[in-house]
Chains A and B, each alone.
Chain A
Amino acid sequence: MSNPDEILDPQLQLYEKRKGVYPKAVDGTFRRLKWAIMAVTLAIYYITPWIRWDRGPYAPDQAVLVDLANRRFFMFGIEIWPHEFYYVAGMLVMAGIGLFLVTSAVGRAWCGYSCPQTVWTDLFQHIERAIDGDRNAQFRLQDAPWGPKKIFKRLSKWTIWLLVALATGGAWIFYFADAPTLARDFFSGEAAFVAYATVGVLTATTFIFGGFMREQVCIYMCPWPRIQAAMMDEKSLTVTYKDWRGEPRGSVKKAEAQPGSFGDCIDCNQCVAVCPTGIDIRDGPQIGCITCALCIDACDKVMDQVGRPRGLIDYVTEEDAELEKAGQSHTPVLKTLFRPRTILYFSAWGAIGLAMLFAVGNRTRIDISANHDRNPLYVQLADGAVRNAYTANLRNMENRPRTMEVSMSGLGQAVLWSSEGSRETAGQTVTIDVPADSVGRMRLFVAAPGVGASREEFVLTVRAVDDRTAQDSHNVFFERPESAE
């Protein structure tokens, strides 16, 4: 299709109108795989916020909840506090490396099957076909003048799109608050403004991206296609048109008339007709190809009909394509999948996952941190002793109220009390009741004889009274004046 001698266009436009894509319905292995993945991903998205998970009376009973207001993240049996955000960071790193792994092994599978843009566009296209009819009917309707029938069809299509978009945007907010309560508040008009605003924005983006922008998002807006193109190599699976087998193209009639001078491609254009991004896979690998493999389904069906072997368009690695072209057999699949690059990605991915699992399993749900007063560093008392003050934060990360005991060790002849007590009643420990799943804050006072080192390190330890095995310590300093006068 390219011709170096073609006359240059002096009127080349700076901007180009989107060319409509009207993909034809198709059935086949990969279409069914896409149906299954769409069903699973949409089910996960819509159902997850409604799963209940009993955490006792002091914590929400929603299995997955991002509680921004109280800064807690619940995911089934795991609760994450803000200071444990590295788990979220770790999951993001895993998602990144996972994408490297998938891309290096099976190419742009994310784009083709599980990207929300792909899934929702697919859903919208099915709705479109249900209302407007298949590819050819859609062409006709597009070219038809505006009349009652076209207006009715457009309005009903957009209404259904809008309802799907609303359900999409609506489901999102349930991850951030108790779903049944929020649903009731949302429809009775009592929910927070941010809930309506979020639903509004996500409804609009779903409607526009799924209904009108579609492949434009993949080609012009999304960075992943570019990054993934850089992460693929000659051993990555990609949708390939076997031009060595297909070319030159010719219809069945021509091939019958001149046997031996045409390839397997009968130039039926079915691969182009079913493509959701409107490309021609026979032009070779390109940025617009999301490797959804619907063209494979379409081509296989045609090959069955004309009695030629399947796989004229197929998932093939670049390396295998070269081998096949030269008449040799493919590299074994296992050898392609398990190569240093994928093994390295998988090891890194697995190591991070295991490390996080180990960390989650071993974390203590009690924590103390203490800040020494900086101004004043110390206070001289009337009887010659010196007092230091600390602000201690005691984290009770269990879903029940706990009495905690803070004790002191490593500082001779010192006594400890809190703002609740007094020096007269001071001892070696103080207790505090910390409510469920929250931070108890207390002022700690420590008094020690005025004579001694100007700076002594000692340890504050917190234990839960109901579970003395769980404990946490924090090293702090005791300050004295440089020397008594």
Chain B
Amino acid sequence: MVDKQRIDEATGTQTVGHEWDGIEELDTPMPRWWLWTLYATIIWGLVYVVLYPAWPMVNSATEGVLGWSSRGDYQKALAAREAELEPIRQALVNTDIHDLPNNPELLNEAVQGGRSAFKVHCVQCHGAGAAGSKGYPNLNDDEWLWGGDMEAIEYTLVHGIRNPDHDETRFSQMPAFGRDGILQSNEIQDLVSYVRVLSNREQQSASSNRGAALFEVNCAVCHGNDAKGDRMQGAPNLTDAINLYGLDRASLTDTITNSRYGVMPRWGHRLDAATIRMLTAYVHSLGGGEAAPESEDTATEQAAIATEAETPVDEQS
């Protein structure tokens, strides 16, 4: 190959000696600064190896004298963000929940924070879009078993529903009319007919007329004579179009025969007050949130209870 080397006529440059189909390559020397840049990158590499994590070892890598790690960077960024959010959290806790809607910026911050917290703590039952499923309430709609204003939502969040170890939890229990032998199965079918008439799913019939009489005796005490429910007891409105457990005959039969006993954990001792307020604002913002009730009696009473939420234990770290 070397013997094919020659001086190129046009440029006066020596060729490399390769030849492909008459095409040859000039052996032009590289500029020397190019070599210096190569040395510079080598020095850079050596410095980098000393300063930063580089050599893989058996269990980890060399740490580098700067002690830098991507996880450490992340922790720093997280701490910085937490510090940034702290004033918002403080403002949220210090703001009366009735005043929150009057402060659109703070409310917006709360809704955004609640959206994140919801994805961690609530989606397991209520679903990613808070649309729920059978037995798990859809938080987007305008039907609320225990009340849909901010204060009521926050109370539910703090104290939960039907928590056996907690006195202030929202509690009620519907009798299992069939299982406990209070009603016969044909009576239950009459009641089912009546409930379906109430919500316009069925035409009035002899069965539903018998059911109406049974309703007055067995159900009206909680669901009301007009069957519009009672939020103090979490008794659903039976005259509207939606129901947590379904309005088809089979579901209603099951509900009346065996009762329902939906449980929601209480979050007052797990989450800090600011996070709970954020969740409240988020759930309220989904579309079904109600304005605060007119009467102040129950409102102030519940506010007093809500603010006495236990101190969080597992959010201290």
Contact = CB atoms under 8 A, between A and B. Distances in A.
Given A8-B6, A380-B241, A13 B29 contact: yes
Interface string B1-12: 000011111111
A381 B144 CA distance: 11
Interface string B274-317: 00000000000101100100000000000000000000000000
A429 B31 CA distance: 71
B142 interface: yes
A259 interface: no
Could you say which interface size class chain B belongs to? Answer: 35 or more
B7 A6 contact: yes
B12 A382 contact: no
A381 B29 contact: no
A373 B31 CA distance: 61
A150 to B, nearest CB: 23
Contacts of B163: none
Interface string B134-152: 0000101111000000000
B127 interface: yes
Interface string B251-293: 0000000000000000000000000000000000101100100
A193 interface: no
B9 A15 contact: no
A132 to B, nearest CB: 22
A2 B140 contact: no
B29 A12 contact: yes
A16 interface: yes
B29 A383 contact: no
Contacts of A384: 200, 240-241
B12 A2 contact: yes
Interface of B: 5-12, 14, 27, 29-35, 127-131, 138, 140-143, 200-201, 237, 240-242, 247-248, 285, 287-288, 291
B140 A379 contact: yes
Nearest to B30: A15
Interface size class of A (residues with CB under 8 A): 35 or more
Interface string A1-36: 111101011001111111000000000000000000
Contacts of B127: 375
Contact of A16 (B31, B237, B288): B31
Given A375-B127, A379-B287, A380-B141, A4 B6 contact: yes
A76 interface: no
Given A15-B32, A381-B141, A387 B287 contact: yes
Contacts of B5: 8
A419 interface: yes
Given A2-B7, A4-B6, A375-B128, A389 B287 contact: yes
Contacts of B237: 382
B131 A379 contact: yes
Interface in A79-110: none
A376 B141 CA distance: 11
Nearest to B246: A485
A220 B241 contact: no
A216 to B, nearest CB: 6
A382 to B, nearest CB: 4
Given A2-B10, A373-B129, A15 B241 contact: no
A195 B128 CA distance: 43
Interface in A424-466: 443, 445, 450
A15 B285 contact: no
